[in-house]
Amino acid sequence: MEYYNYLKSLHLIFVITWFAGLFYIVRLFVYQIEAAQKPSPEKEILQKQYKIMTYRLWYIITWPSAVLASIFAFWMLLFTDLGQAWLKMPWMHVKLGFVFVLYLYHGKCQQIFKQLQNDEVKYTTNFMRLWNEGATIILFAVVFLVILKNAVNWIYGVVGIFLFSLLIMLGFKFYKRLRERNQS
């Protein structure tokens, strides 16, 4: 069991750094998109700096954290008795579904990262601000599933995630109005 706790500790550390990278990378995407709208030479100076920052964050922190979090998770699930038992539990199946969505989210961030590194701006800052909340929703869902396990009432859990998402959207609209008012 002590061996398992070391794996779990390492898994959690890298999950935390993975999410930190995902939260910050999208924020940097917002700044890169805003920089693309600036006049020269400010535009070129900012774009160069943001490209360096996103590259370092993405390849030195976020990707390695994702890989290491996954390695320790698979190790716990496949090579420990407790992990084998958890694989038979319904809450773990739902959690792994959210983890799969997290991998898709990460993949989309990779695509956006490459586009911005090539000076291709295909999304608005508003889209990026909303996109940033995707990781938050996944994080909430996974943490509640892991902590509550079998105590989760699936209907309330699903309704809760949708209500949380709705609150995020309303908060975004409120913040957008405040920004627009302050710019006027």
Residues annotated within a binding site: 11, 95
Q: Cα separations (Å) of 17 from 12, 14, 60, 66, 88?
A: 9, 5, 11, 8, 28
Can you tell me whether residue 152 is helix, strand or coil?
coil
For residue 9 the two structure tokens come to: 């500790």
Can you tell me whether residue 119 is helix, strand or coil?
coil
CB 150 within 8 A of CB 100: no
Whether residue 41 is preceded by a cis peptide bond, meaning omega within 30 degrees of 0, is yes
CA angle in degrees (0–180, nearest 5) for 167-15-80: 125
Q: Which residues are annotated as a binding site for heme?
A: 11, 95
CB 15 within 8 A of CB 103: no
For residue 23 the two structure tokens come to: 């939260």
Q: Which residue bears the tokens 């996974």? A: 142
